[in-house]
């Protein structure tokens, strides 16, 4: 876990989350303010920065009402996160964290462990970004 916290993307996500929370803005609202879906913004706070484009950079600084020092720190952390090897979904989450807790479908039939593993395989399959 300590190694994960040293990754530039994670440092950036933690910094952004702390700044957002200090302004008392919830994550869903903040994501909307900067033009990201709740899922995209959740990934940003986990350290996955490919969602942050120039538009989001400008909107983050504006939405946080950042001063010069915060803006410089933001830019530095973002630049470091972008320069580092990109985090993958599997770098941030483990299969155990996302394992289905209850394996039932809509007709109240218990799903098998094999089905559970197939679900996890699908969740952890790398997506190609366009």
Domain chopping of the chain, boundaries: 2-89, 94-123
CATH fold of 2-89, please?
Answer: 434 Repressor (Amino-terminal Domain) (1.10.260)
For residue range 80-108, what is the model confidence (pLDDT) as tens digits? 999 998 777 777 778 888 777 666 666 77
The torsion angles phi and psi of 104, rounded to 5 degrees, stand at -125, 150
Per-residue pLDDT, 80? 97
> Apex CA 32: angle with CA 126 and CA 19, to 5°?
90
For residue range 5-36, what is the model confidence (pLDDT) as tens digits? 789 999 999 999 999 999 999 999 999 999 99
Q: Give the H/E segment covering residue 71.
A: helix 68-83
For residue range 32-49, what is the model confidence (pLDDT) as tens digits? 999 999 999 999 999 989
> Apex CA 44: angle with CA 39 and CA 49, to 5°?
125
């Amino acid at each position: 876990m300590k190694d994960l916290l040293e990754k530039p993307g994670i440092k950036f996500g933690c910094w952004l989350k702390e700044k957002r929370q200090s302004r008392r803005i919830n994550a869903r609202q903040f994501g909307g303010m900067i033009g990201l879906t709740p899922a995209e913004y959740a990934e940003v706070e986990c350290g996955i920065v490919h969602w942050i484009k120039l538009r989001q950079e400008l909107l983050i600084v504006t939405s946080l009402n950042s001063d010069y020092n915060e803006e410089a720190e933001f830019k530095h952390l973002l630049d470091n996160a972008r320069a580092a090897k990109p985090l993958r979904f599997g770098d941030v989450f483990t299969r155990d964290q996302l394992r289905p807790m209850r394996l039932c479908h809509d007709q109240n039939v218990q799903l098998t462990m094999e089905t559970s593993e197939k679900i996890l395989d699908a969740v952890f399959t790398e997506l190609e970004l366009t």
